[in-house]
């Protein structure tokens, strides 16, 4: 069983799933960062719309009560916490975020960016490794 199926099977379905991401949603996001996202990242975000996944994973587009990648990116850029190359994918909630690098996509490593001390730490070699890590996702 692949990691996406495992997450789908181990998390509970939303009572009212969000509408699926459209190809145009992905095109807008990929255009914003001038990069392509891999299938694991895209498939995970489809599960995020149908299943409840604990944590601060950011959505592809604006959805009620969920922060989007673009919104957090704009906020963090305005505050000076990110450079243009970093794509926030997870909001830790304390001002820190987990990011991919646009220049490394579609096979980006995953980075933890601390806003307090400007430290950047490589957490995982891939998004697949991140979502396989039970410290970051409870399945």
Q: Could you tell me the CATH number of the domain that includes residue 117?
A: 3.40.1580.10
Q: Does 125 map to a domain?
A: yes
CB atoms within 10 A of CB 41: 21
Partnered with residue 66 across adjacent β-strands are 63
Q: In this structure, are residues 90 and 97 in contact, taking their beta carbons and an 8 Å threshold? A: yes
Q: Does 87 map to a domain?
A: yes
H or E segment and range at residue 90: strand 86-91
Q: Does 139 map to a domain?
A: no
Range of the domain at 38: 3-8+21-132
pLDDT recorded at residue 95:
81
Task: Provide the number of structural domains found in the chain.
Answer: 1
Q: In this structure, are residues 112 and 123 in contact, taking their beta carbons and an 8 Å threshold? A: yes
Q: For 35-49, what is each residue's pLDDT tens digit? A: 999 999 999 999 999
Q: Does 137 map to a domain?
A: no
What does each C-alpha distance from 89 to 15, 124, 129 come to in angstroms? Answer: 24, 13, 14
Q: Does 13 map to a domain?
A: no
Q: For 57-112, what is each residue's pLDDT tens digit? A: 999 998 877 789 999 999 989 988 888 999 999 999 888 999 999 999 999 999 99
């Amino acid at each position: 069983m692949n990691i996406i199926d495992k997450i789908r099977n181990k998390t509970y379905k939303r009572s009212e799933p969000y509408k699926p991401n459209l190809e145009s949603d992905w095109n807008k996001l990929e255009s914003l960062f001038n990069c392509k996202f891999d299938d694991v990242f895209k498939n995970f975000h489809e599960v995020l719309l149908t299943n409840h996944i604990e944590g601060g994973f950011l959505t592809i587009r604006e959805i009620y009560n969920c922060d989007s990648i673009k919104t957090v990116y704009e906020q963090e850029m305005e505050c000076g916490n990110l450079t243009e190359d970093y794509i926030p994918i997870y909001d830790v909630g304390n001002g820190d975020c987990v990011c991919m690098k646009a220049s490394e996509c579609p096979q980006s490593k995953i980075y933890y960016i601390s806003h307090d001390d400007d430290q950047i730490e490589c957490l995982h070699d891939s998004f697949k490794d991140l979502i396989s890590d039970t410290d970051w996702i409870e399945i």
